[in-house]
Amino acid sequence: MIFFKMPKMSIGNRTLPLPIIQGGMGVGISLAGLASAVAEQGGMGVIAANGIGMIEPDYYADGRAANIKALRSEIRRARAMSKGLIGVNIMVAANDFPQLLDTAIEEKVDALFMGAGLPIKNIPVARIRAANVLVVPIVSSGRAAELIFKYWQKTYHDVPDAVVVEGPLAGGHLGFKAEKLQDADQALEVLVPQVIAALESFQEAFHKKIPVIAAGGIFTGEDILRFLQLGAQGVQMATRFVATEECDADIRFKEAYLKCAPEDIVIIKSPVGLPGRAIRNKFLDNAAAGVRNVKRCAWRCLDQCDIKHADYCISVALDNARQGLLDQGFAFCGANAYRVEDIVTVHALFDSLKHEYEAALVGDLVTLKDEYLQTIENRLAGLRRDYRQARQRLCRLGAEYSRAWERKVNSIIEEYHKARNLSDMLRDEYESAFKKLNLFKERFPEKLAELQALLRQFQTDLVLAPAL
């Protein structure tokens, strides 16, 4: 059913059939083989440019030239193998960043992914636009995204086309301090909405959609769904693509993923000056113990790395690992590398990601339906309860009303009876007094007249008596 399928993803004027970008993996882990296989399946394949010249025999004669030659040839090889979208990942911190950028522009790749530093200064924006190449910085915070976009707006009157936000579970070099990697506020689930918010005003100002691509620890189709639901338009995955037949690394590099346990995945302090996530081995144990393992420096490929103090050359160590020489180097990996069980084709990996995504979406909808039904049932139960309570209250009030009414009527009746008794009593008293008066009048009429005459005489005598 079309409804459950993974959506397409648009970046600038390009459309990806599936919202999956294969993260660039240096040194030499994602070359034309892996990138074209991913592009063929509808994702974007990405060639990692840093140290790519190490696959050339003349790298130690001229590292810069070898990098350019190898990058050009890998882009062309990938184009020949797929009509899909192909990007290039370049480390901003690399000393030949401008030359690698120029090469990718000349080869008109679909997108430039730029990380390990802020892609702000001396970016040939006019040439990038003329070549119709998309620009996608890799950041680890909303602040970094805002900084890049502000700089671009002010300096180039333009902004990048998308942003990869890489969380602390990613592989390779990490954009966090080692002690911050476990912080809850650095989780990818927190960073994605932060970066989306940071880009809002630039989308409005430039009238364009700037998709956010989530990266770091995304392992299953269910994870992809989760980050799309959080507002990301796509995901960047790397660890899962290592264990594919088409991945350009030696089989021993891939097997290191199959064999590793969670406790083998460690954070190292890389000579680049950043923490990195890798599979622990003797080489790394020696480096941690201070055993220096530097034979020579082909050319100073990184400003931050000083061969006099570095424990090893990171490019050489990674290139050795790519070739399967894991006793002379180490494998970078994401935090979920221990979950890798098989080496499969890129096609099979995409199939399982799609199925997992669809199953998760169906599961989500079933859960949503169940939650909805549950909500309605709870609401109905609540209404039933409220109705019962209201009815009980009504009965109680009715009973109280009739009780109050009865009490009032009884007291009135009682008062009436009291008044009635009083009036009866008064009437009786009046009647008996009246009777007594009449009896008195009847029995003593002559005495009464005599008394009255005496009284009159007395009053007259008083008036006539001489004054004393």
Ligand X SMILES: Cc1cc2nc3c(=O)[nH]c(=O)nc-3n(C[C@H](O)[C@H](O)[C@H](O)COP(=O)(O)O)c2cc1C
DSSP H or E stretch at residue 166: strand 163-166
Give me the least distance between CB of 3 and ligand X, in Å please.
27
By three-state DSSP, how is residue 179 classified? helix
Quote the tokens at residue 357: 């995504």
Q: Tell me how crowded residue 434 is: count the other CB atoms within 10 A of its CB.
A: 10
Which amino acid, 442? Answer: E
332 is a site residue for ligand X (CB under 6 A)? yes
Give me the least distance between CB of 376 and ligand X, in Å please.
40
**Of 32, 47, 88, 138, the one binding ligand X by CB under 6 A:** 138
Quote the tokens at residue 336: 């979920």
Give me the least distance between CB of 294 and ligand X, in Å please.
21
x-or-dash pattern for ligand X, window 206-245, by CB under 6 A? ---------xxxx-----------------xxxx------
Strand partners of residue 341 = none
Distances (CA, A) of 151 to 93, 148, 154, 342: 18, 5, 5, 44
171 is a site residue for ligand X (CB under 6 A)? yes
Stretch of 21-29, 64-72, 264-272, 392-400 contacting ligand X, by CB under 6 A: 21-29
111 is a site residue for ligand X (CB under 6 A)? no
Give me the least distance between CB of 278 and ligand X, in Å please.
8
Give the distance between the most distant pair of CA atoms in the chain: 172
Give me the least distance between CB of 57 and ligand X, in Å please.
22
Quote the tokens at residue 118: 């802020």
Separation of alpha carbons 244 and 453, rounded Å: 151
**Of 89, 95, 244, 323, the one binding ligand X by CB under 6 A:** 89
148 is a site residue for ligand X (CB under 6 A)? no
**In contact, 98 and 123? CB cutoff 8 Å:** no
28 is a site residue for ligand X (CB under 6 A)? no
Number of residues in contact with ligand X under rule CB under 6 A: 29
DSSP 263-290: GGEEEEE-TTSSEEEEE--HHHHHHHTT
Give me the least distance between CB of 386 and ligand X, in Å please.
50
Chain positions contacting ligand X, by CB under 6 A: 23-26, 29, 48, 50, 89, 91, 115-116, 138, 166, 169-172, 215-218, 236-239, 332-334, 336
